[in-house]
Structure 1
Amino acid sequence: MNSVGSECGDLKKSYDDCFNKWFAEKFLKGDTREDGVCKEFFIKYQSCIKKSLKEQNINYEEIEKDVMGTTEEKQPPKTS
């Protein structure tokens, strides 16, 4: 899947490659510890995505809002 921002594609690939390697070589073999090996890639990719969303006038704060376990969880989405 492509990144939401075309300029973030290389960062997404780097993160995906790192995550897939960790998943296949550790997680699937029973080592479920997340050792932060992909954290640097994730932070750079996340930063790029947030910048791209802002440029496209998409409010990412609403995307990150935690509603699980709250009264908002069962409410229909707000329409803009």
Structure 2
Amino acid sequence: MESIDSKCTPLKHEFDACFTRWYSEKFLQGDKTNECEEAFKKYQTCLRAALKEKGLTKMIGEARPTVGSAFADDDGDDGGSKGSK
């Protein structure tokens, strides 16, 4: 499956492969060590930039108004969901 932005697709594939390998070979055997954190962070950084570039962070912030949303901008702008009434 492709990512929302083509430049993020290789990072998505890297994370997907890592997760699948970890889940089947480690997690199901009881090892809960997070081996894919770096791959996830790289993909998440790319996604954040792509969502911001496409003007989607505000929409996501409004749809997911929970504190600490994974898609909040690095500058603290979560699309206006915090404190807006």
**Structure 2 length normalisation: TM-score?**
0.66
**CA distance in structure 2 between the partners assigned to 1:65 and 1:36 by the alignment:** 27
- Aligned match of 2:41 in 37, 40, 43? 43
Which one has more relative contact order, counting CA pairs under 8 Å at least 6 apart? 1
What's the counterpart of residue 19 of structure 1? 19
Structure whose residues are more often helix by fraction: 1
Write the distance in 1 (CA, Å) between the matches of 2:65 and 2:40.
Answer: 19
Q: Spell out the pairing of 1:49-60 with structure 2 (5 A cutoff).
A: 49-59=47-57
- For the aligned residue pairs, the C-alpha RMSD in angstroms reads 2.1
Unmatched tracts of structure 2, length 5 or more: 68-85
Give structure 1 stretches of 5+ with no counterpart: 68-80
The structure number with the bigger radius of gyration is 1
Equivalenced residues, count: 65
Identity within the alignment, %: 38
